[in-house]
């Protein structure tokens, strides 16, 4: 009996000692952690204001709720295009009662509604014509009209693609006016290519503002990709030359070239872009050269004017539309595709690295009209 008691006493004693030691160790660990500076705090402290954080800042609740990790890209795309959808589809829905005769007056009202949603006149005409051809004079429902609109939108947005080129090594000249999102898009593109296991090199050829170089550097550091840069005011052609040399040497797969967008000085910009293109093209044996224009969806129809202006300066092989999140002017995507027949390569729906994806005509048509 006394042996059992002694054994129980010893067991309790040993357990108490182990528990106490574990508690002391845990307290020590916590104190130690607090004394170490958190690594995340150091890097954002050096971030210039234009550069978006990799993860949403807690001070920005809208950004934090915009992209919880469990939400799929499709759901986020749909949420981003919700305001555009309201401008297009909800306003059309309001024109219909349960069963409505699709007469000329109703078709005119539909045209007006679609046109006002930043699609442009030709797109409005195409969409309405599709409905006219299939349903004019018939008693119809909004559901039937919606289906036709979605199919026609998908047709307008679909473009013969040259995506195969992008499977090989390539360099992309990113052009566009100031503030549309070029530098941010380069960061997001870098993330896209990294996810595809491609080796990326960034080239800071917007040497006009020091902040632009810094902004690209922040992206390069965050994503762990190489950056070739010179000082502010340096010749952009020289930066591109060095970047292409570096890309050859380091066996990069994709070179993303940032440029200045001073459309106000057209002659200078044209000379600069032509020179950059020529230098980048010297490496065409290894890197196919693409030129993509970045457009800000919130500028609506003005985006089309920007494409026209740049087409006078340089050939364009692709379009990226950014800031589709929270704008009612997403209908401009339809106008861009209809007018220029240049493939939309990617769309951006936010400022984070993961907020860009290859353009999918059917997904966009479904988000607008589905
Ligand atoms: N909401 C939103 N903001 C964006 C998007 N892309 C870029 N931006 C923001 O647009 C602003 C201008 O971007 P920046 O890349 O500096 O434009 P750049 O002058 O053309 O290089 C920055 O505040 C970016 O964070 C996007 O897809 N959605
Ligand atoms: Mg920039």
The pLDDT value recorded for residue 6 is 55
| Whole-structure pTM value | 0.82
Instruction: Determine contact, residues 336/300, Cβ cutoff 8 Å.
Output: no
348 lines ligand 1 (CB under 6 A): yes
**Phi then psi dihedrals of residue 78, to 5 deg:** -65, -45
Q: How many CB atoms lie within 10 A of CB 187?
A: 29
Q: What is the pLDDT of residue 48?
A: 37
What b/e sequence results for 90-104 when a residue is b if at least 16 CB atoms lie within 10 Å of its CB, and e otherwise? ebbeebbeeeeebee
Q: Which of 81, 351, 356 to mutate to test the pocket of ligand 1 (most atoms within 8 A of CB)?
A: 351
Task: Tell me the percentage of the chain whose pLDDT exceeds 70.
Answer: 81
pLDDT class of 265 with cuts at 50, 70, 90: confident
Give the atom of ligand 1 at the shortest distance from the alpha carbon of 186: 15
Q: Is the pLDDT of residue 347 over 80?
A: yes
**pLDDT class of 244 with cuts at 50, 70, 90:** very high
226: which strand partners? 201
**Two structure tokens written together for 34:** 């607090």
Residues sharing a CB contact under 8 Å with residue 236, sequence separation 6 or more, in sequence order = 205, 206, 207, 259, 260, 272, 275, 276
354 lines ligand 1 (CB under 6 A): no
For residue 145, report the phi and psi dihedrals to the nearest 5 degrees.
-65, -45
Residues 242-256, mean pLDDT to the nearest whole number? 97
Task: Pinpoint the alpha helices (H) of the chain.
Answer: 2-35, 39-45, 61-66, 73-80, 82-85, 91-93, 104-114, 121-135, 142-157, 164-167, 182-195, 210-223, 236-249, 266-281, 302-311, 332-340, 361-369
Whether 176 lines ligand 1, by a CB cut-off of 6 Å, is yes
Q: Are 115 and 107 in contact (CB under 8 A)?
A: no
Partnered with residue 319 across adjacent β-strands are 293, 344
Closest residue by CA, ligand 1 atom 23? 50
Q: What is the pLDDT of residues 120-137, one digit of tens each?
A: 999 999 999 999 999 988
What's the gap in Å between 24 CA and the centre of ligand 2?
Answer: 52
Q: What is the pLDDT of residue 325?
A: 94
Instruction: Answer whether 349 contacts ligand 1 (Cβ < 6 A).
Output: yes
Structure tokens at 288: 């196919």
Helix (H, G, I), strand (E, B) or coil at 254: strand
> Which atom of ligand 1 is nearest the CA belonging to 258?
21
Q: What tokens were used for 180?
A: 């549309």
Express each pLDDT in 288-304 by its tens digit. Answer: 999 999 999 999 999 99
Whether the CB of 135 sits within 6 Å of ligand 1: no
Which pLDDT score is estimated for 28?
Answer: 41
pLDDT tens, residue by residue, 83-121: 999 999 999 999 988 778 899 999 999 999 999 999 999
Find out whether the beta carbon of 47 lies less than 6 Å from any atom of ligand 1.
no
Q: What is the pLDDT of residue 69?
A: 59
Residue with tokens 């051809």: 133
Q: How far is the CA of 183 from the centre of ligand 2 (A)?
A: 4
Q: Which of 130-139, 150-159, 333-342 comes out lowest in average pLDDT?
A: 130-139
Q: Where does the pLDDT of residue 3 fall: very low under 50, low under 70, confident under 90, or very high at 90 and above?
A: low
Cα–Cα dist 114/60, whole Å: 33
State the chain's mean pLDDT as an integer: 84
């Amino acid at each position: 009996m006394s042996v059992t008691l002694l054994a129980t006493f010893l067991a309790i004693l040993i357990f108490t000692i182990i528990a106490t030691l574990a508690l002391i160790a845990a307290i020590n660990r916590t104190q130690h952690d607090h004394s170490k500076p958190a690594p995340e705090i150091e890097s954002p402290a050096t971030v210039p204001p234009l550069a978006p954080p990799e993860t949403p800042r807690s001070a920005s609740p809208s950004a934090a709720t915009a992209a919880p990790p469990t939400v799929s890209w499709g759901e986020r795309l749909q949420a981003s295009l919700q305001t555009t959808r309201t401008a297009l589809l909800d306003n059309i829905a309001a024109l219909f009662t349960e069963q409505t005769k699709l007469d000329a007056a109703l078709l005119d009202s539909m045209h007006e509604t679609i046109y006002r949603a930043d699609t442009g006149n030709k797109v409005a005409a195409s969409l309405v014509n599709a409905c006219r051809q299939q349903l004019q004079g018939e008693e119809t429902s909004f559901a039937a009209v919606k289906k036709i609109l979605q199919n026609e939108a998908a047709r307008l947005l679909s473009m013969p693609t040259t995506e195969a080129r992008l499977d090989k090594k390539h360099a992309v000249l990113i052009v566009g006016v100031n503030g549309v999102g070029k530098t941010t898009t380069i960061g997001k593109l870098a993330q896209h290519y990294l996810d595809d296991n491609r080796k990326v090199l960034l080239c800071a050829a917007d040497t006009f503002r020091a902040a632009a170089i810094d902004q690209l550097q922040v992206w390069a550091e965050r994503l762990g990709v190489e950056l070739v840069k010179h000082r502010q005011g340096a010749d952009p052609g020289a930066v591109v030359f060095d970047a292409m040399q570096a890309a050859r040497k380091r066996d990069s797969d994709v070179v993303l070239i940032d440029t200045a967008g001073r459309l106000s000085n057209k002659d200078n910009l044209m000379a600069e872009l032509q020179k950059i293109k020529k230098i980048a093209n010297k490496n065409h044996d290894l890197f196919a050269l693409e030129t993509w224009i970045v457009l800000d969806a919130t500028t609506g129809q003005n985006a089309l004017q920007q494409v026209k202006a740049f087409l006078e300066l340089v050939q364009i092989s692709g379009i990226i539309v950014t800031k589709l999140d929270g704008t009612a002017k997403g209908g401009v995507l339809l106008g861009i595709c209809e007018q220029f027949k240049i493939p939309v390569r990617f769309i951006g729906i936010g400022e984070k690295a993961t907020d860009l994806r290859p353009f999918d005509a059917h997904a966009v048509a479904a988000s607008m009209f589905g």
